[in-house]
Amino acid sequence: MKETFSMSILPEWNGLTLESLLKNELSFGKKSIHQWRMEKSITINGELKPWKNPLSEGDQLTFKYTVLPSAPAWKAEVDVLFEDEHLVVLNKPARLDTHPNSEADTQTLQNAIVHDLLSKGHSGYAQPIHRLDHDTTGAILFAKHPAIKPLLDQLLEKRMIKRTYIALAEGQMKTSGTIREPIGKDRHHPVRRRVSPGGQKAVTQYQRLSVDPVKNLSLVELNLETGRTHQIRVHLSSIGHPIAGDTLYGSISRQFSHQALHARKLSFIHPFTLKEITASAPPPAYFKHH
């Protein structure tokens, strides 16, 4: 399906050439830039113009591309927190995978957003920039076209997408702290991760928001400097405060049917508008009682 997306030349980009903008300011790869040039995929104010001409503030760039749906469509409700023509932030429910792990897996959040986009006349391209575990809820970012995806991937890699979580942890945690323990695979379990000297660097900052002495739970806010698989779950378990309901990592609480972990907020600078985007996901009801 042929699609287009547009972007305006901001004051910061006035006087740049198209090539300089794409390469130096937006950090597109050489392959993408070469393909757009050869296929004459970019118009300026609706016209094909030489790439060496200087751009002016307010000029409109329109990109044309051909793309297929990213996954089979699955009709299911999606909770949109923020959306424009480039990206969408969703509020993921529990008991749902972020994306398919096999061809037979067709009922995931990615399948649901593909259906939602197709129903609006969009190509159905939707690629997750990061992932949330099956039972983790909250804000998650998807790219809506193939040009924005590498730019968002770069933001994630450079730790420029700030992700804030909340969790209900067992016990009464310290007021605040930073956990700096590398994380690797647990060779005795196909899914579980563990703190391991030979693992990947992992840093989690936490701050205790409140304590429920009756239920022996701490409500904590967490910020990730890295994004390892199961990072928060492994780190909190490693200091003796597993997330309530997280039986994989040692929770003994039976108050929850899954780990009480929620991605509360995402914030980043939009690559095409340079505006700060902040999307907040309301916590599930069980957080409100703590």
Report the relative pairing of strands 261-269 and 137-143 from DSSP bridges.
parallel
User: Both tokens of residue 184?
Assistant: 């690797």
Nearest alpha-carbon partner for 4 in 60, 50, 56, 73: 60
Which residues touch 38 (CB under 8 Å, ≥6 apart)? none
| Cβ–Cβ under 8 Å, residues 259 and 135 | yes
Looking at the annotation, which residues are catalytic? 133
| Cβ–Cβ under 8 Å, residues 167 and 262 | yes
* Count of CB atoms situated within 10 Å of the CB of 258: 18
Which residues touch 279 (CB under 8 Å, ≥6 apart)? 81, 82, 89, 139, 265, 266, 267
Strand partners, 64: 4
Tell me which DSSP letter residue 278 carries.
E
Distance, in Å, from the CA atom of 263 to the CA atom of 115, rounded to the nearest integer, reads 23
Distance, in Å, from the CA atom of 262 to the CA atom of 259, rounded to the nearest integer, reads 9
